[in-house]
Amino acid sequence: MNKSYQSQKAYLGDVSQLFDVREYRMLGGKAEGTRAVEVWNGDKLTVTILPDRGMDIYSVRYNNSEMSWHSMTGIVHPSYYNDFKSRWFRSFQGGFLATCGLDWIGGADEDFRPNEGLHGRHNHTPADRVSVRTDFDENGEPYCEISGEVIHARLFGTRYRLRRTFVFRRCENSFTFRDEIVNEGFARQPLYLLYHFNLGYPLISESCELLIDATRTYPQDEYSAGFEKVWRETTPPVPGYRQNNFYHDLPADSEGFRHYGVRNADIDTTMKVSFRSPIMDKIFQWRNFASGDYIMGLEPTSMLMVGRRAEEAGELKFTEPGQTVTNDFRFDFTPAG
């Protein structure tokens, strides 16, 4: 059992010996100048957040193992962003979370937005009003609150403000974040949203077990339908593997949270994700086991990725002027057990 902070305080010169939060900017290559905040919880969890990339999460390390997939691009400063069709991939660094939206998710729609890049601009938009605050709770234990705002706006178009707030506590191998998405405009607006969690090796391997108890599972397309009997399985890396994708409708518990996770006994880790949202009741599963691009995406989404047809299908969500949409997330890391 971990000793309390107060019982160890006299041994310390600074709180960072037991709970450390660091802010820095990166040097070299395309990462030059990118702002980062790194939190070590004093136990087995270290998380790196990139305010310059939409307050998204680049790295989560638990028990000395990385949970995320990282692209060969490495961390890329948002100034390199190119929103023309698939050029988005040149700065898609992967990471634990790449938030997609708020005015588009999915690929280019040849009839509607033929030149649109994948998944919108959020992950390439620097945050404003970034705050990193360390304090002590009612029990004298240190915690950290990290917040920032990402503005989605253009003349004659979208007017959204997304406020994201993380909370980390000493020796709790878990963390939370809340998104508050505000329609700052004067008209009804569509809201596209996908939380693109990119899970990678060693959490994802042929030894992992998916913890998904869905009320309904269905393929994204005809090709994916050929994998309906094996969507829970994970293969070793395969050169040229063709991705296949599924949707999972998840039930809500008594507090409105929906749950899923991954267990891997080889690294003695279980990761559980819990989310609560008025506009999301499903996750999108991205199965991509290609050599070098070995990824499992388990991604809460506000809609099926059907482009312009989302509105016709009743999938597209809208907000009214002044309306706030609040999404809560919690991540728990425990031994595989």
Three-state secondary structure call for residue 140: coil
Both tokens of residue 88?
């988005």
Please state, in angstroms and rounded to a whole number, the distance separating the CA atoms of residues 270 and 165.
24
pLDDT of residue 84: 74
CA dihedral 56, 131, 35, 198 (to 10 degrees): -10
Amino acid, single-letter form, for residue 150 = V
Looking at residue 259, its pLDDT comes to 98
Residue by residue, DSSP assigns 218-233 as: EESSHHHHTTTTSTT-
E strand map for 53-188 = 56-62, 65-66, 97-102, 128-136, 142-153, 159-169, 174-183
CATH of domain 19-334: 2.70.98.10
Q: Tokens 């997939």 label which residue?
A: 69
244 Cβ contact partners less than 8 Å away, ≥ 6 residues apart: 219, 220, 223, 224, 226, 227, 287
What's the token pair of residue 105? 């998710």
Q: Percentage of the chain with pLDDT > 90?
A: 86
pTM for the whole thing?
Answer: 0.96
Per-residue pLDDT of the chain (337 residues; tens, 9 = 90+): 579 999 999 999 999 999 999 999 999 999 999 999 999 999 999 999 999 999 999 999 999 999 999 999 999 999 998 887 777 788 889 999 999 999 888 876 655 565 666 788 999 999 999 999 999 999 999 999 999 999 999 998 889 999 999 999 999 999 999 999 999 999 999 999 999 999 999 999 999 999 999 999 999 999 999 999 999 999 999 999 999 999 999 999 999 999 999 999 999 999 999 999 999 999 999 999 999 999 999 999 999 988 777 888 889 999 999 999 999 999 999 999 8
CA distance 275 to 259: 7
Contact by Cβ (8 Å): 96, 38:
no
Give the per-residue pLDDT at 335: 97
**40 touches 19 (CB < 8 A):** yes
β-bridge mates for residue 70, sequence order: 94
Using CA atoms, how far apart are residues 270 and 58, in angstroms rounded to an integer?
19
**Which run of H or of E encompasses 7?**
helix 5-8
Domain boundaries, the chain: 19-334
Give residue-wise pLDDT tens across range 143-195. 999 999 999 999 988 899 999 999 999 999 999 999 999 999 999 999 999 99
- Contact (Cβ atoms closer than 8 angstroms) between residue 275 and residue 242: no
Helix, strand, coil percentages, rounded to 5, for the chain: 10, 45, 40
pLDDT digits (tens, 9 = 90+) for 238-273: 999 999 999 999 999 999 999 999 999 999 999 999
Both tokens assigned to 31 = 């990462």
